[in-house]
Amino acid sequence: MSVSVLYAGNLNYWPIYETELGAALSELGIKANLSYDLAPAEVDYIVYAPNGPVQDFTPYTRAKAVLSLWAGAEKVVANPTLTQPYTRMVDNGLSEGMTEWVTGHVLRHHLGMDDYIHRTDPVWHRAAPPLARDRTVGVLGLGALGATAAQALCALNFNVCGWSRTQKDIAGVDCYSADDGLHTVLSRAEILVLLLPLTPATENLLNAERLAWLPKGAVVINPGRGPLIDDAALLAALDSEQVGHATLDVFRIEPLPDDDPYWAHPNVTVTPHIASDTRPASAARVIAENIRRGEAGEPLLHLVDRAVGY
What are the tens digits of pLDDT across the range 30-83? 999 999 999 999 999 999 999 999 999 999 999 999 999 999 898 898 899 999
Distances (CA, A) of 224 to 19, 121, 123, 210, 219: 30, 36, 38, 17, 15
Contact between 67 and 47 under an 8 Å Cβ cutoff? The reply is: yes
Q: Is the dihedral of CA 69, 75, 81, 84 positive or negative?
A: positive
Residues facing 65 on adjacent strands: 45
Enumerate helices (H) and strands (E) in the chain, giving the number of each. 9, 12
pLDDT at position 40, please?
A: 98
Q: pTM for the full model?
A: 0.90
Contact between 163 and 192 under an 8 Å Cβ cutoff? The reply is: no
136 in the Ramachandran plot: left (φ > 0), alpha (ψ -120 to 50) or beta? beta
What is the C-alpha to C-alpha distance for residues 41 and 233, in angstroms, rounded to an integer?
A: 49
Q: What is the pLDDT along the chain (310 residues), one digit of tens a residue?
A: 699 999 999 999 999 999 999 999 999 999 999 999 999 999 999 999 999 999 999 999 999 999 999 998 988 988 999 999 999 999 989 999 999 999 999 999 999 999 888 888 888 888 899 999 999 999 999 999 999 999 999 999 999 999 999 999 999 999 999 999 999 999 999 999 999 999 999 999 999 999 999 999 999 999 999 999 999 999 999 999 999 999 999 999 999 999 999 999 999 999 999 998 899 999 999 999 999 999 999 999 999 998 888 8
pLDDT tens digits, one per residue of 252-271: 999 999 999 999 999 999 99
Share of the chain above pLDDT 90, in %: 90
Kindly tell me the burial class for residue 133, based on how many C-beta atoms sit within 10 Å of its own C-beta (0-12, 13-18, 19 or more).
exposed
What is the C-alpha to C-alpha distance for residues 234 and 231, in angstroms, rounded to an integer?
A: 5
Who's near 180: CB < 8 A, 6+ residues apart?
none
Residues labelled catalytic: 225, 273
